[in-house]
Amino acid sequence: MGGQWHLGERSFLPHISLYHVPVRDPDLDDFLNELQLIANTTQWGKLETTAFDMPVMMVNKPDWLKRLHERVVRRTVHFLDQKYPVAKTWSLQRFSGRRLEFAKRYLKEYGTPMVGMNFRPHITLTSFKGREPMDSNLHVRRITFRADRLYVCELGQSHTCHRIIREI
């Protein structure tokens, strides 16, 4: 059966992204060590699916996840490869008003627009080629699950996870 969206030619692993940041190979071990320190001192908790916002399934943003996200960004931003053209990998079309202003600022400062007020935890289900479909009005069954680790991934197109580099 045909549809408006395409699952992709290369499969990817479902994940909840905390921070998309290109890291230079010489800095990778230090980056991974810093994430290990963060994970070792994190008070993990539960997450719950909340809605579909194609192409993603949204999850809630409890305080423990907000704190984890802030710590990961704050303590690893200095590993951002400044020579990598991060602005070319992001579309800011989904942002407007104040969120757009902050998205532009966050992209320059952190290498991603998905920080602070724009951090929207989600599980990526697919990526689109071309135009995104209109609101799908799909109902999501609320599923609660416990998060207890981080994964560092090799990213592909549309910030998808293609290979796990390390489980932390």
Could you please report the per-residue DSSP string of 9-65?
SS--B--B-S----B-GGGHHHHHHHHHHHHHT----EEEEEEEETTEEEE---HHH
Neighbours of 150 (CB within 10 A): 20
Which pLDDT tens digits describe the chain residue by residue (168 residues)? 333 334 455 556 677 888 888 899 999 999 999 999 999 999 999 999 998 877 778 999 999 999 999 999 999 999 999 898 888 888 898 899 999 999 999 999 999 999 999 999 988 776 656 555 566 667 778 989 999 999 888 776 666 676 788 989
The pLDDT of residue 101 is 96
The pLDDT of residue 144 is 93
The pLDDT of residue 134 is 61
Q: Whose CA is closest to 167, among 147, 148, 145, 152? A: 152
Q: How far apart are CA 48 and CA 61, in angstroms?
A: 9
The pLDDT of residue 127 is 62
Q: C-alpha angle 167/90/33, rounded to 5°?
A: 25
The pLDDT of residue 4 is 37
What are the φ/ψ torsions at residue 7 (nearest 5 degrees)?
-70, -15
The pLDDT of residue 6 is 40
Q: Whose CA is closest to 140, among 51, 48, 47? A: 51
110-148 residues labelled b (16+ CB within 10 A) or e (exposed): bbbbbbbebbebbebeebeeeeeeeeeeeeeeeeeeebe
